[in-house]
Amino acid sequence: MRRTSGRRIYSWPAAVDSTLTQSGQRHAGVLLAGINHGRDRRDYLRANPSIRRDGAYWSIEMLTPTLTLGPMSATATTVRFHPSGRLVATGTLGGAVALWDAQTGREVSTYEFAGKNMRSVIFSPDGTLVAYGGHGRWIRVREVTTGKLVHDLVRRPHLVNDLAISPSGELLASAEAAEGQGGTRQWRRGEIHVWRVSDLREVVVFTLDSEAIKASAVAFSPDGRAIAGGGADISLLMLWDIASRTPLWKAEPHLEWTATLAFSPDGRILASAGDDGAVQLWSVAGGSRLATLAGNQVAGKTFQPFVTAISFRPDGRLLASGSYGYDKTIRLWDMETAREIEKIEFDNDVLSVAFSPDGQVIAYGTRNEPVRLWRLDN
């Protein structure tokens, strides 16, 4: 991994993880003993400008590698922090769902190994429940502390592409794609289903304004009054008022796929990302496009990188994005200026990114590698 900050490029070896920063070890003949800040790291960089391990080069400016969750080598398609910040939930391409101790990196519990792509894992706002679903065509809800299965909702013939829980914790939403008759994989409609968490009774279904489209992403507004849905095959973004069940506005944000959605903490901005190598920022009030964060786009390419993960820092000052394809990066964006302030390059695709509740740690997952955690230095 390599990282750029402005016009400067810095490198920091992936070997400097929690083990090395806690107890000094020798790497390439140099003692790494709690090298975390300032002059020590710069001196190490000058002495070892190109040390590389596991396809990653660690940066010295804002982010310090702190922890690896593992042993884990499966591709994490989704990663979320528990509201307390003490746990990290992961869902993998192979269908496994696990909880990890965010301080030690040890696995706390494993819930599933379904053999199907796990698309979303989320915690309830009070931290008591964890919900997950994917291409296994079901949604399950468990107690975090005991692992007890609370709800098991079969969604055949629907694929579950994304989940969201309302800020009150009362509603669970799923973005789904319904197959045509006979399982022909002719997708007949994309729907956002909203369930009551207490008993998983369906409250309302929002349908995207197009036939033959998949619902690929969903997010609740911070005040819980609105819900956003994204579509794939025909890229679409819609915002509905939940109480009146009416659409507020819609847009066509990307090429063919809206992969992920996130509201800013103050509820004024809705961010979308997809297959055009860009993050789009939308005004929640009126649906106008506020800015395009196009750092992932590659000139001269017919197919652009896929921005598959975005996460706002809880204070709203930063947005993290992760991408795969021609551009395998995590980028940090300053939300005041809509400018890229950091870029970290990887050898493998970045599929998931999440900020911790205190905004001081970023968790990310890359293809066929463990989930890793970074701490922001400033």
Which pLDDT belongs to residue 25? 29
| Helices within the chain (DSSP H only) | 18-22, 38-47
Number of other residues whose CB lies within 10 A of the CB of residue 310: 23
Which pLDDT belongs to residue 346? 87
Tell me: do 12 and 142 sit in the same domain: no
| Domain assignment of residue 36, given as a range | 2-47
Distance CA 192, CA 173 (A): 7
Tell me: do 29 and 160 sit in the same domain: no
Tell me: do 10 and 145 sit in the same domain: no
Residue 368 lies inside a defined structural domain of this protein: yes
Residue 91 lies inside a defined structural domain of this protein: yes
Tell me: do 84 and 183 sit in the same domain: yes
Distance CA 221, CA 308 (A): 20
Which pLDDT belongs to residue 43? 45
Residue 57 lies inside a defined structural domain of this protein: no
- For the record, the structure tokens of 161 come out as 């592409």
- For the record, the structure tokens of 300 come out as 């001269």
**List of residues 6+ apart from 146 with CB closer than 8 A:** none
What is the distance of C-alpha 301 from the center of its chain?
Answer: 25
Which pLDDT belongs to residue 330? 92
Q: How many distinct structural domains can be found in the chain?
A: 2
Residue 295 lies inside a defined structural domain of this protein: yes
Residue 62 lies inside a defined structural domain of this protein: no
Tell me: do 162 and 26 sit in the same domain: no
CA-wise closest residue to 189 among 197, 198, 180? 180
- pTM here is 0.82
Residue 55 lies inside a defined structural domain of this protein: no
CA-wise closest residue to 166 among 243, 271, 88, 86? 243
**List of residues 6+ apart from 90 with CB closer than 8 A:** 69, 72, 76, 78, 79, 96, 97, 98, 100, 121, 352, 365, 371
Tell me: do 236 and 268 sit in the same domain: yes
Tell me: do 146 and 270 sit in the same domain: yes
Q: Could you list the pLDDT tens digit for every one of the 378 residues in the chain?
A: 555 544 333 333 333 333 323 322 222 222 223 333 334 444 444 444 333 333 344 444 566 677 888 766 678 889 999 999 999 999 988 888 999 999 999 999 988 666 577 889 999 999 999 999 987 778 999 999 999 999 998 876 778 899 999 999 999 999 988 765 554 455 557 889 999 999 989 999 999 876 657 888 999 999 999 999 998 877 789 999 999 999 999 998 887 778 899 999 999 999 999 888 889 999 999 999 999 998 666 565 555 677 999 999 999 999 999 998 878 889 999 999 999 998 888 888 999 999 999 999 999 999 888 899 988 875
